[in-house]
Structure 1
Amino acid sequence: MTRRILALWLPRLSTDAHERTHPERRVAPLALLRTERGRRLVVAANRAARAAGILPGLTLADARALEPGLAVAEATPETDARLLDRIADWCRRYTPWTTPDGADGVAMDIAGCAHLFGGEAALLRDLTRRLRAAGFESRAAIADTPAAAWGLARFGDTDSRARACLDALPMAALRLPTETLDALAAVGLRRVGELRALPRAALATRFGAAVLLRFDQVLGRLDEPISPRQPVSPHTARLAFAEPIATPDGIAAAVRRLLATLCAGLEAAGHGARRLTLDAHRTDLRLDDPPQSLTLGTSRPTRDPAALARLFGQILDRIEPGPGIETLILTATETAPLGALQAALDGGDADTDLGELVDRLTTRLGERAVLRLVPRESWLPERSVAPAPPLDRPPPAVWPEDRPRPVRLFVPPEPVEATAPVPDDPPLQFRWRGAVHRVRSADGPERIEAEWWRRDGSPRDYYRVEDSDGRRFWLFREGLYRPGTAPRWFLHGVFG
């Protein structure tokens, strides 16, 4: 696939950003300043200030002489850089491959994406229209190489397919240092096309290798990679709608279509999705607003679009379409290998059914609410189990087989009032939750010491007791017997 690079240039990014927060200064001359060696210098000027002759590099005194009513503010390059990052993220509505380009531009690889917006020309119009509505002046161009698109956006037009357009670009479009541009101009070389007829060896000898490097990048002879600002998933599906959608049925149908496309790509790669993200871009989405996002996790790799559609159906009502959704992007942010699957003869698969049940419960209740308890090597009852993912294979059991444990444990153990004739004997009766239970039979004690590596805790003497109604309980007395100190009793669990 031929590379198609869109270069976006925001020539007045800093002043446009300032005017967005101070609308009253949009029509007045405005300059942004910085202090350098004790002098106040202009680093950016809006259109009205430039019309008055105020350009970057002027001192504040010279600028005031040209325009006494000039409004000034401090330049904030760090804030402008963060704003450019947000604009690059916002441009992901057009392509996932976006990155800031310098201090005032964004580079995008739109290969395979432009048709979703009606073609490259329509995409350019939509991009510049939205930026203009947000208060940013912009120029954009598309070419086969990043260097050509950068030059056309700043010095040419948007018809990058014509060789004459590239040849007519000024030398500044090659992104060369100022001293190199001055040296080229001194011998009459002012247009990119004039380099074609000159010997390459002579150019490199006289002006340095950077001239040939930049010239070859413009022509596509040398590759110039673009590193996206955010990681790009290889499994992404997107839908851009000619008319915004807002109904639940329309959104659900679009998600099913996205899932079919995404799962086909996963199958071709031999992978299944473990986590998916759905981004919804509304028509009223501003540059500073992130898209609405839904995240879905699965207990095991899957690429069944019907099952995933059922899971999304449980959470799609969280999307607020507002005036309408114009773009939906579905991304498999986490995948895992998944080979070919074959169902049983009756068309079913018990493991798959269990996995789908776990996924539905997880989607509805949250990942932390659906777990399984597996054995853990600890004699303390409350530490003898550990939570684990619901479908992971449990480790071998390490619980003692000769020491019965109750089915239900209370966390924390509940205090009770117990009566015992001898300190080391089981209780004759105990009061729990306001009710008195008379002990008919008892077994114990079973002493469990505190773990030596834990500073908290004391020895416990456990008893299995049965009351007069046949109910069985697990009681323990905490600590060693001390004359004159009443023992503390707790109910830790019930049997059956």
Structure 2
Amino acid sequence: MTDRRILSLWFPRMGADRLMRRDPQLHAVPLAVVEERGNMQVLTSLNTAAQGFGLRSGQPVRDAHAMCEGLITRARSVQGEAAFLAVLQRWAGKFSPWVATEASDGLVVDLTGCAHLFGGEEALLEVVQQDCNDLGLAVQMGLADTRGAAWALARFAGQSAGAYRSGDAIDQEARATRSRAGKRRHWTRGGAAPVVRRGPDQATHRIAAPGQSYSALSALPVAALRLDADLVAQLARLGLRRVGDLLGQPRASLARRFGRGVVMRMDQAMGSAPEPVSPAKPPDHFAVRLTLPDPIGLEDDILAGIDRLLPRLCESLKDKGRGARRVRLQAFRSDHDIQSVEVGLARPSRDPARIRPLLALKLDSIDAGFGIDMLRIEAVQTEPIHCRSAVGHLEAGHVVNKRLAANTAVDDLIGRIGARVGMEQITRLHPAESHIPEKTSKVLAAAWSDPWKEDWPAARTPRPLLLWQPEPVHAPDVPQVPQVFRWRGQTLTRHRAIGPERISPEWWLDDPDWRSGVRDYWVTETEDGQRLWLFYGHGHMMSSGWFCQGAFA
């Protein structure tokens, strides 16, 4: 479709530019943004001064410090960069209503029918460049008929495909033996292949004329098709280093050898496969704040501010038909520090009386410092909630109201306990369909599940109240229940035994705990009053013997 025009914006130094916007003094020093990858710290973003020392993204920090003695490093904030990219997305909305994010450092804009409002495509890109210069951001742009072609031009325009050298690989071009020997220089002896990059005096954008995506991409390396690095290396071994080389190959052979992903990327770049720009509607944001004329530091003053903020927050939640599931309170101190606490609710709610006690439990963890001059409450996680109304005669309505009140009391209790120990620590059991003893119930988080409303399924034979992993019992290795056995350092004498109950493993599952095969369970009472659940494993695949797995109340 040649009537579509897609603009791709790439911010190659977004992490470093974001930090330099907050601290202008970092412009004059080599700056690198660092993050943890596995067990190693690597560079993710560099400013111009750091790039002048030959540093690159993905390089280990220890190597970077060896190359640049005065390198300044800052830890990467993924949330901060995502929020900054969201701000840039709103800024790009001035050029087109269709704006979406690309990875963590780019935007894609559908400019179809919008460029003439700015005087044409060249004039529009000049406006983008000027805005980014004013914002202190480095940007590279690509404009083409398809999203894939625009992405390639923004990141690879001006680059050429370097030759591939890998140890014992033989160059298939016989003429290169002498005529190109002077051009190879050091990289024939194991060094890196040369890569042609754009100079600083060249343009930071590239426009592909309508219908000219093929010619604009042919000279670019195959990595411009958004292929994985391993796949790029495989193609380079076969001499397919440029996009033009790949587009000229039979599609069936490429799909058979490298998968359909390669063909899909080619079709997306050429416009044969659709790849629309569909920005999702921004989610509703529920937050309120209160700016104070004088700093405060007492808990009573903070509670008074919460009482003023919560009704406004709950009213906005009610307008959207949602309830808060997690609420965050932020206290902005006068020394520019932020103290925050977060609470969770067992059920979504928009009732201030249910949220306020949970926040009050967390106030002792807030350090007011020299004073708090602003409070902010945000509903971090929300869920749909619907109004309930009792219908029917008067007595039925009273019954429904009592049940709703009882459920609310339990939910409030879960919320108060969760504010202290964590919501994930509170669990409940639901029955499960299995004849394996330890699988007859499943553990669910109490805050994200409803109580079991039916009767608990009755077992055909008694089941112990306490279950644990099978523990060995020292007894003769015979199927008959032992008269005397030793368990947990105790020598016990059998008074009577009920059984056996034979339980077979689930043959359709490979459960390591049940590889011993069939088990015969016995309810065993000892002379000292204990009721234990013993079983004898017949040991079809492992050694046989007696084990204890539970105890009755």
**Helix, strand or coil for the counterpart of 1:100?**
helix
Rate the CA distance shift 1:439–1:14 in 2: closer, same or farther, 3 A.
Answer: closer
Q: Identify which of 247, 252, 255 aligns with 2:303.
A: 252
Whether the aligned pair in 1 keeps the contact of 2:30 and 2:70 (CA below 8 Å) is no
The answer for the alignment partner of 2:408 in structure 1 is 352
Number of aligned positions between the proteins: 321
Distance 1:350 1:363 in 2: 20
1:338 correspondence with 2:386: yes
CA shift, 1:253, in A, is 2.4
Residue identity matched to 1:380: I
Could you list the per-position Cα deviations for residues 58-111 of structure 1 after superposition, in whole angstroms to 9, with x for gaps in the alignment?
xxxxxxxxxxxxxx99999x999x899849959xxxxxx97138xxxx969xxx
**Helix, strand or coil for the counterpart of 2:524?**
strand
The answer for the alignment partner of 1:18 in structure 2 is 26
Distance 1:451 1:75 in 2: 60
1:476 correspondence with 2:535: yes
- Structure 1 outlier segments of 4+, above 6 Å: 20-23, 72-76, 82-85, 227-230, 345-348, 395-398
CA shift, 1:272, in A, is 2.1
Whether the aligned pair in 1 keeps the contact of 2:424 and 2:445 (CA below 8 Å) is no
Distance 1:362 1:229 in 2: 33
Distance 2:545 2:362 in 1: 49
The answer for the alignment partner of 2:159 in structure 1 is none
Could you list the per-position Cα deviations for residues 198-227 of structure 1 after superposition, in whole angstroms to 9, with x for gaps in the alignment?
xxxxxxxxxxxxxxxxxxxxxxxxxxxxx9
Alignment of 1:30-179 (within 5 A): 86=80, 99-100=87-88
The answer for the alignment partner of 1:412 in structure 2 is 469
1:429 correspondence with 2:496: no
Distance 1:462 1:100 in 2: 66
1:282 correspondence with 2:338: no
Residue identity matched to 1:99: V
**Helix, strand or coil for the counterpart of 2:87?**
strand
Structure 2 unmatched runs, 5+: 1-16, 32-46, 53-67, 96-118, 130-277, 391-396
The answer for the alignment partner of 1:303 in structure 2 is 350
The answer for the alignment partner of 2:135 in structure 1 is none
Rate the CA distance shift 1:176–1:440 in 2: closer, same or farther, 3 A.
Answer: closer
Distance 1:14 1:363 in 2: 35
**Helix, strand or coil for the counterpart of 2:418?**
helix
1:383 correspondence with 2:439: yes
Whether the aligned pair in 2 keeps the contact of 1:297 and 1:359 (CA below 8 Å) is yes
Whether the aligned pair in 1 keeps the contact of 2:428 and 2:443 (CA below 8 Å) is yes
Distance 1:17 1:432 in 2: 71
**Helix, strand or coil for the counterpart of 2:88?**
strand
Task: Name the TM-score, length of structure 1 as normaliser.
Answer: 0.53
Structure 1 unmatched runs, 5+: 1-8, 24-30, 37-71, 91-96, 109-144, 148-170, 182-226
The answer for the alignment partner of 2:551 in structure 1 is 494
The answer for the alignment partner of 1:361 in structure 2 is 417
Distance 2:128 2:321 in 1: 52
Whether the aligned pair in 2 keeps the contact of 1:426 and 1:444 (CA below 8 Å) is no
Residue identity matched to 1:275: R
CA shift, 1:258, in A, is 1.8
1:461 correspondence with 2:512: no
Rate the CA distance shift 1:424–1:244 in 2: closer, same or farther, 3 A.
Answer: same
Q: Identify which of 458, 461, 468 aligns with 1:403.
A: 461
**Helix, strand or coil for the counterpart of 1:99?**
helix
- Mean alpha-carbon deviation: is it higher for 433-442 or for 391-400? 391-400
State the superposition RMSD in angstroms.
5.0
**Helix, strand or coil for the counterpart of 2:342?**
strand
Alignment of 1:222-261 (within 5 A): 233-261=284-312
Rate the CA distance shift 1:241–1:88 in 2: closer, same or farther, 3 A.
Answer: farther
Could you list the per-position Cα deviations for residues 443-488 of structure 1 after superposition, in whole angstroms to 9, with x for gaps in the alignment?
1222222222115222322110111233311111233389xx9853
If you compute each CA radius of gyration, which structure gives the higher value, 1 or 2?
A: 1
